[in-house]
Amino acid sequence: MSAVYTPSSTGAFVIGVKSAAKSVFIYVMFGTFIGYGALCHDLGFSLTWALVSTVLIWAGPAQVIVVTALGSGLSAGEAAIAVSLSGIRLLPMVAALLPLIRTKATRFWHLLLPAHLTAVSMWVESLRMAPGLPPERRVAFCNGLGLGLMAPTLVATVVGFMLAQRLPALFAAAVLFLTPMSFTVSVARNSRELVDKLAFILGLALTPVFALAKVDLALLIGGVLAGTIAFAVHRLREGA
């Protein structure tokens, strides 16, 4: 994205909303949250609960984890632990994004909303587009982008909840699968350095092995191991 001059924070916010409307993620997320709304209905959660969980958690996989955990009879504490482990994946994204949008004049509370709105979709689009904006307008842009992505998912949740009685279970599972597939394609597209490509390939190779071996937390272990190996190779190449 070329440099864009925004005369006000409101202008940057509007650019963020418009960017969300043009993003391919919005279509993927709309389909995903139709499935989420249907899932909440089938597991006995109210529509209000489904909408509030989207606003407060704002992470499709974590939301699926919490409703399936609570729906299967796990305690709130056990569900919270499972969601927290899932949410750890977003911490590196927040750590990468905030230095990009923070300036010397940025207050701590200015970063709370963009940090909360950081999900895979918002993170990918922010890293791609925010550098083309003046630094002092990037927080407003990210807020507009994040809220612009969230709003349609609330509508999709309502649609899925209302259609739950007619929505085939296989279709609900398929639209939920769009989220990890979208993330995989986005990571592949944005992996330009050798260390990124190696971590991506190793993660795809190792995680199914751990899953087939019935290793607990196979996804987490596979990701950590793949990233560690890729980083070690990167350091060895730098030192060579």
SS3 43: coil
Written as one string, the DSSP assignment of 40-92 is HHHTT--HHHHHHHHHHH--HHHHHHHHHHHHTT--HHHHHHHHHHHHGGGHH
**What pLDDT score was predicted for residue 140?**
92
Cβ(114)–Cβ(98) below 8 Å: yes
- Alpha carbon distance 121, 26 (integer Å): 8
Domain ranges across the chain: 9-178, 191-240
- Alpha carbon distance 230, 125 (integer Å): 24
**What pLDDT score was predicted for residue 3?**
46
**What pLDDT score was predicted for residue 4?**
44
Cβ(44)–Cβ(71) below 8 Å: yes
- Alpha carbon distance 54, 116 (integer Å): 12
Backbone phi, psi, residue 237, to 5°: -70, -35
CA 8 to chain centre: 28
- Alpha carbon distance 143, 11 (integer Å): 12
In terms of Cβ atoms closer than 10 Å to its own Cβ (0-12, 13-18, 19+), residue 87 is middle
Supply 213's token pair.
């071996």
Cβ(33)–Cβ(54) below 8 Å: yes
Written as one string, the DSSP assignment of 81-108 is HHHHHHHGGGHHHHHHHHHHH--TT--G
DSSP 24: T
Q: What is the pLDDT along the chain (240 residues), one digit of tens a residue?
A: 444 455 588 888 999 999 999 988 888 888 888 888 888 888 889 999 999 999 998 888 788 888 887 887 777 887 788 788 777 878 888 988 998 999 888 888 999 999 999 988 899 899 888 888 888 899 999 999 999 999 999 999 998 888 877 767 677 667 667 666 766 776 776 677 888 888 889 988 988 888 888 876 676 678 788 888 988 988 888 775
- CB within 8 A of 98, min separation 6: which ones? 111, 114, 115
Cβ(140)–Cβ(9) below 8 Å: yes
DSSP strand E in 3-162: where? none
Instruction: Report the chain's terminal Cα–Cα distance, integer Å.
Output: 36
SS3 198: helix
